[in-house]
Structure 1
């Protein structure tokens, strides 16, 4: 019963995010809005991590299965991607470098100068 309650909490938050996104016509997808709502509920300690721990760990452990539909979709449009693979490669490399740099500066900013 405990796992069922945890699943219900996560599905309810996801549903609320999708509902709010649909009602207000937001640019943010409902799933992302659901994650933001979950973050706020966890941050404000309305929901404690232990209340969703088992299902969260189960989803994280099986996360690779959630990427299978995306991989199959990419294989289905592989002939279209062949003409733009260089652009995709360049964008992937540049976005990775930018992400690393922004992450490094954010960590430095949040940690402050601890080397002094």
Structure 2
């Protein structure tokens, strides 16, 4: 019964996100924001502010994270069924993927680098203040 409750909570937030996405698209023409992302953000906020305890979704959430690759397979297979449409632009798409990968990689490496520098500075300041 605990598993069903956890699934219901996750599906409830996903449904809430879909409803909000649909409502926003009606209020703002040509606006689209995925309902699943809205639902995830709302769930994150509820977890972050302890409105919902992590134990309320821990088992099912762990299952979803552990099997995440399995959930992306249908999307990848459905893309391949439209290969004839994608084929003329495949090089543009590959270039876009490579550029976005490199941009993300550089942004993450720079943010980690600067975070480490800030942490080292804080540690040195603490060490100097204790002397």
Measured on the aligned residues, the alpha-carbon RMSD in Å equals: 1.8
Measure, in 2, the Cα distance between the counterparts of 1:82 and 1:28: 27
Runs of 4+ in 1 over 4 A off after TM superposition: 108-112
TM-score for both structures, normalised by structure 1: 0.86
1:62 aligned to which of 61, 67, 82? 67
Larger radius of gyration: 2
Report the 3-state secondary structure (helix = DSSP H, G, I; strand = E; otherwise coil) of the residue aligned with 1:114: helix
Residues 47-105 of structure 1, C-alpha deviation per residue, up to 9 Å, x if partnerless? 12121010011112222221122122122112232222211111111101111122233
Q: Work out the number of aligned pairs and report it.
A: 116
Query: Mind listing any 5+ residue stretches in structure 1 that lack a counterpart?
Result: none
Aligned to 1:98: 103
Greater shift after overlay, 65-74 or 27-36? 65-74
TM-score for both structures, normalised by structure 2: 0.78
What's the CA shift for 1:115?
3.2
